[in-house]
Chains A and B, each alone.
Chain A
Amino acid sequence: MSGELFTTPTRRFHLTRRGKILQSTTERYLRDDLGYGTVLLPTKTNTTIAGDATELVPRTIENIDMLYNLVDGGSIVIVDTNVLLHHMDVLEYVRSDDGIHNSIAAAVVIPQTALEECRNRSLVMYRRVTDLIRSSSTGKQKRAFVVFADLHHVDTQFIDEGMMNGEDAKINDENDARLRKVAEYYGRAVHNHHRESNPGEDKMEVVFLTDDAASRKLAMEEQPDRTLYYTPRSMREHVTILQKEDPNLNLLDMVAQFNAQTNVSQSIDYFPPHIPSSQLSLGLKTNAYYQGTFRSDRDTYNSGYVTVRGGNEERVAVVIRGDQNVNRAVDGDIVAIELFGVEKWLSSSDGKEETKTKETTGIAADTAEPSVKDMDNVDEELVDECGALRRPTGQIVGIIRRNFHKNYCGSIWSVDVAADDSDKHPNDIIVAKHETEHADGITSTVVFFSIDPRIPPVLLRTTQRERLLGMRILVSMDSWPSDSEFPLGHYVKTLGVAGTKDTETEVLLQEFRIPCEPFPAKVLACLPSADYKIELEPGRTDLRHLPILSIDPPGCKDIDDALHCIELENGNWQVGVHIADVTHYVEAGSAIDLEAANRSTSTYLVNKRLDMLPALLTTDLCSLKGNVDRFAFSVLWEVTPEADIVHVEFKKTVIHSIAALTYQQAQSLIDKPDKDCKNDIQAGAVKRLASLARKFRSRRINAGALTLASPEVKFVLDSESLNPTDVQAYTLYEANAVVEEFMLLANVTVAKKILRHYPTLSILRRHPAPNRSMFDTLIQKAKTQGVPICIDDSKKLADSLDNAGKSFSDPYLDQLLRILSTRCMSPAQYFCSGEYQARDWHHYGLAAPVYTHFTSPIRRYADVCVHRLLAAAIGVAPLPVFLSSKSYLHDLAANMNRRHRAAQLAGRASVQLHTLIFFSGDDQGEGGGVKEEDAYVLDVETSDNTEPSFSVMVPRYGIEGRVRLSHIATDDPCLVRDQESFSLYYKDTKSGNVQASVAVFDKVRVRIWVKKSRDHRVLILDLLEPKVLAKPEVVSSSKSKTKKQKTN
């Protein structure tokens, strides 16, 4: 034991539930061996193939000389809690070229008091701080983060006897006093050392950074003997001084802002004030206010909803509308709301209409947005006294916890001076009002607009306005005082030039929060070494003699499933589904496992793939490639040729795949005439699989499984530039259906197995039955075509879709109807079986009572969990402890659902981006550019006094969008809107005969092109046929073009 220990008991009082006061006492040891704080130094532990594994070892700065060595001529900065909470971007900043002042200071001292307070206030920021402390010591950066355990240090421990009850103000004051004591300790040490050793030279600067003016004032007063041991400064003051020394330091942009106007006299309050926290907590207890998380509506920041708990424990979504009612809350904030009286509530009809129109043109969606009800399991409507359903409304009175720790992507709006008044974008007005130069001559305020429409514009103070124009930047919000119309924020990072493919890809990864950093060394250290060989180990069944083959899309690198089918001696067939044994390499609870659990899924973009597991596993060790031995988790069935299952077995195996087929190759084997493949093992197996699959499929369809369709297309990319050169539809072979069928079978079989062993701990996947109201419009639309749709259960829906398909003359309409009905359903979700009742486990789309994901462990974490559950169920490995914790499984499932959705959205956004690139024809005429194509009408705007328009789907490119007929006046007498039949008529002025009409499911012809305006691009659809309704100039330009082509 080095250093003497002293002990001081710390007493705290708390009130028990019964109203008694309990005193709890904890020990606090004071040490004299803590020196001047502790830095983390890396030490090599062992070397693996992935690189050196280093461990961070704390090292105490024992004496003042060590401190001087560490600082090496720079300055010491002591930070307080607010700096940690709000100025992390400044602390993290390091300029790339090496100079002395390449960051905020040579040494940043983080007192334990500040660190712990930061942890209590925001776990997100705490993690950023600890990551920074860890990372700063591993790099070659010349700055150190020193953690100073002031609570345990003999010279700085500080006990205020006055602090006996938990008043906020007092605790804050005490913490500030502690921090000043730390600053004084460092200041005094430097001062004394300076006086003794080298009085002539410059003294090392000790700065205490705090944005609290009162604390700064106290710091000046408190310091004894009129000697200034340390200098208290605000962040902005400090950075301004640094910036004067080194003009290339772009730190000033990153300093968080808290006051809107510099001159207070002019301030106008735009918003009602927030209620202080002490009154809020009282109000929450007395049910005057309710607490909940504010969620913005999808396309605007000034309306949204808050989910609160009602009196009888049911949860209700309360609608908040308008700037004043939202009162500066931002999506994700935890807020306190006050409910309006019932007379102000919305009746169920008037809410829905406003959310209906989505204006942007883009690629078509797959499924419906998960409804509020499904996402949070809340009610949207309440019954009022009259018995009618009403949606409660309210206003936000205070903010309990801000969600300001995210970075937002977007750009600074550049005002187009040339544009005339009529063409002015609403953003121009905002910009004109808020862009100002500051008095200091170097900074100016600019307006930032996020890509995410749920985020309000943010006011930034920057020194580099010119450089940021036309760039995509990351911005973080700091505060929103009531005298500012918009929140204040600071610049974080530039991503790149707006509109370029790489930047925009980066932007969408940021936007959907897809983890895209390379795997940390800790994760890579879990991988097996380079000379690792797969060998048969005890407990594994050797299946290397079986003719196993895999069927995947061409170019597939992460093959996670393989199949085989052989004839047994008794005439039955043995079918095997072999899934990559990922859990063999990913040990439960290891760093690689935690990383995979966090990522939860691989994300597939058009031009790149972001893996859940490191590449060595994804594309090599786990991938069931042809002609190599691989570990697998196999499901083996014995079936009769009539597809009746006799027996099932689950085994950990070693397999040797004889061929990695593409769908096309497999299809050609299926199509081979029987007599040609007597001795062909592959063809025989594939044919048997196909015949079984047909039988399984028909059985499934009879049970009510839906055949749904997706409007997805794929891009043909240029091999070098990766620019899209063509768009193709996915070709679906029968072979696709064969593989899908066996994967479904394996998933269902495994789901049943794990559920039998772990009825409350299984990770399953459910698909809720669709909401009737979502289907209403589709049923009406189908009626105009004389097609009835019945949605009572999945079987009836499947049947009515089949019948409808037969009655259509145009084969695409069948598919269109399926796409539209898919969109009326909510997406499937992962859940822990203990959380729902058995009847809610149902998978509607597949008509299966239980379903799970087992077959793609390389790219989905749910499958990894299911593998572990199955291994435990068959007794080959014990169940990891944490998989038996229900709360952990709940969080896991929630995270998997969130990541899954984000990955889908990011994938779609990537397609959208490539669609824009394709149609803007940037790629030197490689097949892109303006196109003319057939389209199908999905919906017609039939309400009065609106711009005549309708939305269409272009099947060739998978695009969906609105066609505007802006040249026809809204009150044109010739225009007739028919709400019943979803159609528009254009009558001849004289005769009254119908010249042209557009109705739902009609086929029209459109031109697709990209309108570029300033730094953003929009996809535009213009009508070509029917000509009467089309814009005259569009039709004429189209003619001239075709003529030109002919003459050429």
Chain B
Amino acid sequence: MASLRRTDILSLIHLRSDGRRPNEIRHMTCHLGALPSTNCGSALPTSGCSGSALVSMGLTQVLCVVKGPCDVGRRSEELPDRATLEVIVRTTPFSPPGDRRVANPTTDRRLIEQSHLLQTALSASILLHLYPKSKITVTVMVLADDGGRLEAAINAATLALMDAGIPLKDMVCACSAGRWSAGGVDEIVVDLNRREIQAATGMSGGGGGTSDTIYLPVATMPQRGNVVLAQCESRLSGGAEAFGEVLDVAMKGCQMVMEIMAAAVRERGAGVWKAKEGKADVMLVE
């Protein structure tokens, strides 16, 4: 019977379709300060950029720019005890292969939803109360999407905030995990790519019908062990236990992501130190 077949997420020898093992995250690179910091009012298009980061997780690539803390501009948005955090998510016209084109980025529900999620995740970590009556703007540009753009966006935002020198409680690291169960066999994998997400959410019609599938993006503050975001849209039939297993795997993924991010921050720090010593130019850190 055709429909009893499940999509093979793991091959016979427990390799995923792209050659990773279940517990391996995609190749991840981070680049802090990808754009030059400039003062407000400069003529450059990056005017007012106080920090930026370019993060790629596999083929998903996200650029994040942080502006501020600066003047709110509009009085109605001003908060008396803490800073306003504004998050904007945009996609480039060439970024989402196969995905529907975003007609109007200010009204697209998917983008608005993601910016809200991003805002919740970040405001758990940023010490917003240090900047009352001011505004921090985080702009995320999705350059390429091969699955997991929310996770990449969170990671990029954290790094850009650090680049901007905004105080955080902890780094917010995000990673996803997914689970397929059919015929008594469970498969849990970490950091899903587009093909795996489609299989998990049944978007491609690949046979998500018969098996229980979960796709769970998670954001944590790894050094504190807090989960700041966990989003699950699929029906959960395995109960809390099954959810816990997937969450554990995702949190381990976040830990791996954190190590890579921390290394990138240290490298950036070393670059800044060298610049201070007069040995290199900060702007040219590769």
Contact = CB atoms under 8 A, between A and B. Distances in A.
Partners in one complex: yes
Contacts of B13: 38, 40, 58, 147, 149
B235 interface: yes
B3 interface: yes
B81 interface: no
Contacts of A895: 1
Interface string A23-36: 11111111100000
Contact of B146 (A27, A28, A31, A880): A27
B14 interface: yes
Most chain B CB inside 10 Å of its own CB: which residue of A9, A30, A881, A885 = A881
Nearest to B210: A882
Interface stretch (B16-24, B72-80, B112-120, B271-279): B16-24
B235 A881 contact: yes
B237 interface: yes
A522 B4 contact: no
Contact of A5 (B14, B27, B194): B27
Interface in B7-38: 11-15, 18-20, 24, 26-27
Contact of A58 (B12, B211, B212): B12
Given A9-B59, A881-B212, A594 B183 contact: yes
A522 B15 CA distance: 23
B193 interface: yes
B240 interface: no
Interface stretch (A325-333, A482-490, A536-544, A886-894): A886-894
Given A1-B24, A27-B58, A891-B2, A22 B97 contact: yes
Contacts of A175: none
A566 B211 CA distance: 45
A323 B2 CA distance: 32
Contacts of A152: 15, 19
A26 B18 contact: yes
Contact of B184 (A133, A147, A590): A590
Contact of A881 (B2, B20, B237): B237
A141 interface: no
Contacts of B210: 589, 881-882, 885, 888
A526 interface: yes
A151 interface: yes
Interface string B183-223: 11000000001110000000000000111100000000000
Contacts of A7: 27, 58
Nearest to B18: A27
A29 B209 contact: no
Interface residues of B, number: 34
Nearest to B212: A881
B20 A887 contact: no
Contacts of B184: 522, 526, 589-591
A130 interface: yes
Interface string B53-66: 00000110000000
Contacts of B194: 26
Interface in B110-134: none
A597 interface: yes
B98 interface: yes
A598 B1 contact: yes
Contact of B98 (A9, A24, A130): A24
A888 B182 CA distance: 14
Contact of B4 (A23, A28, A597): A597
Given A27-B59, A28-B18, A881-B237, A591 B146 contact: no
A524 to B, nearest CB: 12
A887 B206 CA distance: 12
Given A149-B19, A526-B184, A24 B1 contact: no
Interface string A578-617: 0000000000011100100110000000000000000000
A347 B254 CA distance: 72
Given A29-B19, A888-B3, A40 B183 contact: no
A885 B1 CA distance: 14
A132 to B, nearest CB: 11
B3 A594 contact: no
B1 A23 contact: no
B152 to A, nearest CB: 14
Nearest to A116: B11
B1 A133 contact: no
Interface string B145-156: 010000000000
A796 to B, nearest CB: 40
Nearest to A592: B184
A58 B12 CA distance: 8
Contacts of A147: 11-13
A28 B19 contact: yes
Nearest to A56: B12
A26 B237 CA distance: 31
A220 B237 CA distance: 56
Most chain B CB inside 10 Å of its own CB: which residue of A27, A40, A590, A880 = A27
Contacts of B3: 885, 887-888, 891-892
B148 to A, nearest CB: 12
A29 B18 contact: yes
A147 B13 CA distance: 7
B1 A891 contact: yes
Given A31-B19, A589-B210, A133 B58 contact: no
Interface in A872-900: 878, 880-882, 885, 887-888, 891-892, 895
Contacts of B97: 22-25
Contacts of B11: 112, 147, 149
A363 to B, nearest CB: 31
Given A25-B97, A590-B183, A597-B4, A5 B209 contact: no
Contacts of B26: 27
Contacts of B209: 881-882, 885, 887-888
Nearest to B20: A29
A555 to B, nearest CB: 33
Nearest to B237: A881
Contacts of B12: 40, 58, 115, 130, 133-134, 147
Given A25-B97, A152-B19, A888-B3, 6 more contacts: A7-B27, A29-B18, A147-B12, A589-B210, A590-B183, A880-B237
Interface of B: 1-5, 11-15, 18-20, 24, 26-27, 58-59, 97-98, 146, 181-184, 193-195, 209-212, 235, 237
13 contacts: A27-B58, A29-B19, A147-B11, A147-B12, A149-B13, A152-B15, A589-B212, A590-B183, A597-B4, A881-B210, A887-B209, A888-B209, A892-B3
Closest 5 CB pairs of A and B: A152-B19, A29-B19, A885-B209, A38-B13, A882-B210
